[in-house]
Amino acid sequence: MKPFFKTILLLGGVLLSSGLHSQPLVNPNATPAAKDLKKFLDMVYGHKIIAGQMDEGYLQYIRDNTGGKEPAMMGYDFNGLSPGQGGNNDAAKAIKWVKEKGGIAQFQWHWNSPDGKGDFYYKNFDLTAALADTGSANYKAIIRDIDRVAVEMKKMQDAGIAILWRPLHEAEGAWFWWGMSGGESCKKLWNLIYDRHTHYHKLNNLIWVWTSYGTTKPNWYPGDSTVDLIVWDYPDYGTNGSWKQYNQLFGGKGKLFGIGEDGTLTNPDILTTQGWLYFLTWAYMVLDTDQHKDGKNSRDWLNQVYNDPRVITLDRMSFGPQAVVTGSKLLFDFDGDGKELVKLKGSSSFTNRGKITHYEWRLNGDLLSETDSIAIELPLGSHSFTLSVTTDSLETHDVTHEVLIRTPSLFLNKTARASSVDILTGSHANLATDGLLSTRWLSADRDPQWLAVDLGTPHRITSVRIYWSAGSAKSYRIDMSNDAVKWTTVRTFTDQPAGERTDSVNQLLGGGRYVRVWGISRNGTGYGIREIEASGQADPDVVPVPEGTQTGIDDHDPGVPNRFRTGHAYPNPFNPETTIPVFLPEAGMVSFQIVNLIGQTVHQSDYFLPAGESFFPVKATTFSTGIYLWQMTFRDQTSGGRFFLLR
């Protein structure tokens, strides 16, 4: 495969969210490959996120669990180049990854102590003293090791590839020897490496990456003249976390911000407020917990992230126009008038070939607008928008954006507490009251467990709905209280089905300030609740009604495990577009096939669809009038129907 960076063409920063980030590399003599790579990073920044993985050994696992996807960025290491270590072949691997695959290579260096007395955690190497005496054995050993790395970098420069170079990673943590002597010595070492590689060895294929822990550690930033990118290892994605700290410290410097290492794959939803350039998952952490005790990602989550259109995987490195919709996917009708104003923007759409000249919005298949943004008042329910963009060279791309308008639950954004949180995912209790079915509370893997919601004041509660994830309860009860000390059980359920399901408990009597779901026994591992909702109204005098005096017991509906399903195409007959309602229990790839009445396949393709309900658009612009059979497959489940195209 021809490397993408050799053919990329950009026009005057048109695609950048801010011209500040299109600044040149710190090395004025950067190679064309390095400049092209930086242009690509500038183009992506603020729009999408690049998927990265440390260690090629995990590629097959990723392919097997994502439908063949691969990360766009591969992480390598110069560990092994110190005397006596036996060498390192990662430069050759990186050349192959970039030149044959068209990917991006990132290097860090787990540098053994230069004096040969220990590894990178060695505590007795005096960096300050070594740098102070340029004639000392330790200083000469530092230079020797830097030069050994330069030999490998020269191989990559001669091969025509550029790399992201992240030396002295996690220095501010002070757990590696290069950080144990303090900030000033570390910055001197950084500048020595930069000078030796850039000026002595004439290595111009490097994009220099500094690892910073923001305001959580002492700031040892080496300076604007030697740093191109700034990355955080294992960031805090909270409102006041890593992204905010980076903007406070480095926001005016024009540096791109990335995620140098992480365990759990970054949720692409964070891009609406935190525009991280890339994430690089650390080696074994990409695995599920049944593959490695320190695995951080379920197979479903791995598949969902790698197939998300906002995530750049290896197959998406060379692309034309990319339609991007910004705006809410979930709105609540707080005023109770049965409608809400939906505002969506397409101005973040971009292309690496020419420029975008035309926008086209459709709502449930009908043309809505030809501007870059829309505002429309819509009723409660699910609404499917499609944005199509066209460039001056007539290339097109479209993306579907689902908006759900709902009546708010009593529990929405109320404080929730839980008996435990799964330590691998950090899925805390408030994720069960955030209104999003894409998030969830997960408990520890033991019985019993509970989740309690505080309404703030007593409320009469008429119904409770629990959206269980795969970790559903086999047996559980619902308790209510006005003081969170004395609890009254209002319903108990046993022998419930395994897997994802929705339990609706209706016609409840009484109420309270607090509602608790008490898990008695599990169907699988830990308990998981995507969302818990309630209906009712404030009542200062209400008290819980015990289970024995509740009415409407038979109105409990355990439902069925949420499963893949489709509805009837509408409109039908149609010309030339129709839509098919689809429900997926979780996001993933769907195979779609259209067959004519004599059994010939006239269309077959794969699409990534979000979890929950959506409308799948069908465009039959090249088909003839007739009856067609369609079939949609999600994993091992198939559903289908027929529609009539009438020209």
User: Over the stretch 244-281, which tens digit does the pLDDT of each residue have?
Assistant: 999 999 988 889 999 999 999 999 988 888 999 999 99
Question: What residues pair up with 405 in beta bridges, in sequence order?
Answer: 331, 381
CA distances (Å), origin 566, targets 281, 362, 608, 626: 35, 21, 15, 22
Considering only CA atoms, which of 466, 419, 467, 465 is closest in space to residue 445? Answer: 419
Whole-angstrom Cα distance, residue 127 to residue 204? 27
Assess whether pLDDT exceeds 80 at residue 219: yes
Query: 213 lies in a domain?
Result: yes
Query: Predicted confidence band at 555 (pLDDT cuts at 50, 70, 90)?
Result: very low
What pLDDT, on the 0 to 100 scale, is given for residue 348? 79
Q: Is 75 exposed, middle or buried (0-12, 13-18, 19+ CB in 10 A)?
A: buried
Whole-angstrom Cα distance, residue 561 to residue 474? 12
Q: Looking at 406, 423, 446, which one is the last position of a domain? A: 406
Strand 104-108 relative to strand 73-77: parallel, antiparallel, unpaired? parallel
Binning the chain into helix, strand and coil, the percentages to the nearest 5 are 20, 35, 45
Whole-angstrom Cα distance, residue 431 to residue 416? 8
Considering only CA atoms, which of 46, 2, 1 is closest in space to residue 20? Answer: 46
Query: 435 lies in a domain?
Result: yes
What value, to the nearest 5°, has the Cα angle with vertex 145 and ends 144 and 150?
95
Asked which of 113-117, 201-205, 537-541, 561-565 is least confident by mean pLDDT, the reply is 561-565
What is the longest distance spanned by two Cα atoms in the chain? 88
State the CATH number of the domain containing residue 632.
Answer: 2.60.40.3080
Helix 183-195 × helix 137-158 angle, to 10°: 50
Strand 528-538 relative to strand 441-442: parallel, antiparallel, unpaired? antiparallel
Asked if residue 71 has a cis previous peptide bond (ω within 30° of 0), the answer is no
What pLDDT, on the 0 to 100 scale, is given for residue 22? 66
Q: What is the mean pLDDT of the chain?
A: 88
State the CATH number of the domain containing residue 377.
Answer: 2.60.40.10
| Mean pLDDT (whole number) for 478-489 | 96
Whether residue 381 is found in the same domain as residue 432: no
Helix 59-66 × helix 299-306 angle, to 10°: 80
Assess whether pLDDT exceeds 60 at residue 550: yes
Provide the number of structural domains found in the chain. Answer: 4
Query: Tokens 């952490």 identify what position?
Result: 285
328 φ/ψ angles, rounded to the nearest 5 degrees: -70, 145
Say if CB 510 and CB 443 are below 8 A apart.
no
**Within a 10 A sphere around the Cβ of 155, how many other Cβ atoms?**
14
Assess whether pLDDT exceeds 60 at residue 552: no
Whether residue 268 is found in the same domain as residue 131: yes
Query: 275 lies in a domain?
Result: yes
Whether residue 178 is found in the same domain as residue 245: yes
CA distances (Å), origin 110, targets 105, 421, 560: 16, 33, 51
Whether residue 455 is found in the same domain as residue 380: no
Whole-angstrom Cα distance, residue 172 to residue 5? 33
Say if CB 166 and CB 209 are below 8 A apart.
yes
Whole-angstrom Cα distance, residue 216 to residue 223? 19
| Mean pLDDT (whole number) for 617-634 | 85
Q: Is 138 left (phi over 0), alpha (psi -120 to 50) or beta?
A: alpha
Query: 560 lies in a domain?
Result: no
Q: Which residues, other chains included, contact 578 with Cβ-Cβ below 8 Å and sequence gap of 6+?
A: 365, 569, 570, 571, 572, 617, 618, 620, 643
Whether residue 530 is found in the same domain as residue 440: yes
Say if CB 53 and CB 305 are below 8 A apart.
no
CA distances (Å), origin 268, targets 72, 174, 264, 277, 404: 15, 31, 12, 11, 19
Helix intervals (H) in 578-633: none
Whole-angstrom Cα distance, residue 428 to residue 416? 9
Tell me the pLDDT tens digit for each residue of 363-372. 988 899 999 9
Whole-angstrom Cα distance, residue 581 to residue 632? 11
Task: Report CA Rg, the chain.
Answer: 28
Query: 325 lies in a domain?
Result: no
Whether residue 172 is found in the same domain as residue 258: yes
Whole-angstrom Cα distance, residue 94 to residue 113? 25
Whole-angstrom Cα distance, residue 572 to residue 621? 15
- Residue 453 has which token pair? 């919601």
Whole-angstrom Cα distance, residue 140 to residue 187? 18
Query: Tokens 């439902």 identify what position?
Result: 559
621 φ/ψ angles, rounded to the nearest 5 degrees: -70, -25
- Residue 209 has which token pair? 């990456």
State the CATH number of the domain containing residue 504.
Answer: 2.60.120.260
Assess whether pLDDT exceeds 90 at residue 357: yes
Whether residue 273 is found in the same domain as residue 131: yes
Say if CB 380 and CB 333 are below 8 A apart.
yes
Q: Is 254 left (phi over 0), alpha (psi -120 to 50) or beta?
A: left
104 vs 14, residue with greater confidence: 104
Question: What residues pair up with 628 in beta bridges, in sequence order?
Answer: 596, 643
State percent of the chain over pLDDT 70.
Answer: 93
Say if CB 323 and CB 397 are below 8 A apart.
yes
Whether residue 595 is found in the same domain as residue 499: no
Q: Which residues, other chains included, contact 123 with Cβ-Cβ below 8 Å and sequence gap of 6+?
A: 177, 180
Query: 602 lies in a domain?
Result: yes
Query: 188 lies in a domain?
Result: yes
| Mean pLDDT (whole number) for 123-132 | 97
Whole-angstrom Cα distance, residue 95 to residue 162? 9
Q: Which residues, other chains included, contact 395 with Cβ-Cβ below 8 Å and sequence gap of 6+?
A: 320, 321, 351, 353, 354
Instruction: Please give the residue range of the domain that contains residue 602.
Output: 565-645
Query: Tokens 């699910």 identify what position?
Result: 382
Q: Looking at 356, 376, 406, which one is the last position of a domain? A: 406
Whether residue 630 is found in the same domain as residue 588: yes
Whole-angstrom Cα distance, residue 165 to residue 210? 9
What value, to the nearest 5°, has the Cα angle with vertex 192 and ends 189 and 194?
110
What pLDDT, on the 0 to 100 scale, is given for residue 20? 52
Whether residue 345 is found in the same domain as residue 303: no
Asked which of 13-22, 246-255, 544-553 is least confident by mean pLDDT, the reply is 13-22
State the CATH number of the domain containing residue 307.
Answer: 3.20.20.80
Whole-angstrom Cα distance, residue 283 to residue 532? 35
Assess whether pLDDT exceeds 50 at residue 188: yes
Tell me the pLDDT tens digit for each residue of 569-625. 778 788 888 888 887 777 777 888 898 877 778 888 777 777 666 778 888 877 888
Count of alpha carbons within 13 angstroms of residue 437, beta-carbon side: 24
Query: 594 lies in a domain?
Result: yes
The residues carrying an active-site annotation are: 170, 261
Whether residue 394 is found in the same domain as residue 443: no
Whole-angstrom Cα distance, residue 365 to residue 380? 18
Q: Looking at 511, 526, 555, which one is the last position of a domain? A: 555
Whether residue 43 is found in the same domain as residue 182: yes
Considering only CA atoms, which of 488, 514, 496 is closest in space to residue 557? Answer: 496
